[in-house]
Structure 1
């Protein structure tokens, strides 16, 4: 389940609102026997120190993990926004080490922002990865244009090979962001292509 919870907020009112949203999703996930709830790290605000922001996110993950353990649910932080570097995510996940806390590896997001080799990213974050987001895009200057799997620049083969060799047994979840990028192909065309394209990697 995809909550839109953001854990970087220092403002007490905003922080409480976002944590409450995550708890509602955890409650619902427990009722539906859904194992995971996604939350975001999102931003590194310029008006607070990086260490403070990382601490806010890791503390939020621990708080939600403790809540989720009573619902047989795991809270997953997505590599997203301004937190897509493996060193920052490793620091976060180490501080929030909890059996009911894990990570969603969005392969393209991390690679497009940091250009870290996926095999190296996986080596650092393997312990925490419970779910993956798979998408592809062509890099065009400072922007990227989402395309069908295998038609873009994302190093998906390297990432999926690392996951397979590392014993990853979770889902490879196709992400097609038509709502936020209305110019891309229709989902009725993009989604049916995904299984066939993934067979080439698997």
Structure 2
């Protein structure tokens, strides 16, 4: 897919560029980013350069990850990174995508990340043809969970030993957002399960 740019009232979401490396490097020094996400730890300049200059562009080119740098429209400060990640052929066929994000420490508690989520998921539903956006976070990552809830995600449960973070298997929360949650139609019809009747 050709890279795209999205905007909201306060934010500009665009593919990252070489000039963003320093801001990404600074943001990823934050202990919470390193604790709760799978960015390398310690995080060096080479990691930031790889992410901005290689991994991000390759994701768009190969349809494996559509990542945005999130920036303030007033001043252009880096708010964070957000994208649809983890595409595989089977997930493409099923129209399912995973949403991932991190937020720079000085930009938290301003509603920026939830605002960016709203833009990305609407784009995913209306332009990419996604029918289900999934969110995962390690159990205990309350700020990420709060953003997902604010954006309208439904929490679906806890997955045991779901992923590896820093060499240890960890439990994860899982949530989802559907087009119908935003008043949009899905590409394929959706038949929700009916509540089961208790045996008489």
Specify if TM > 0.5: no
Greater helix proportion? 1
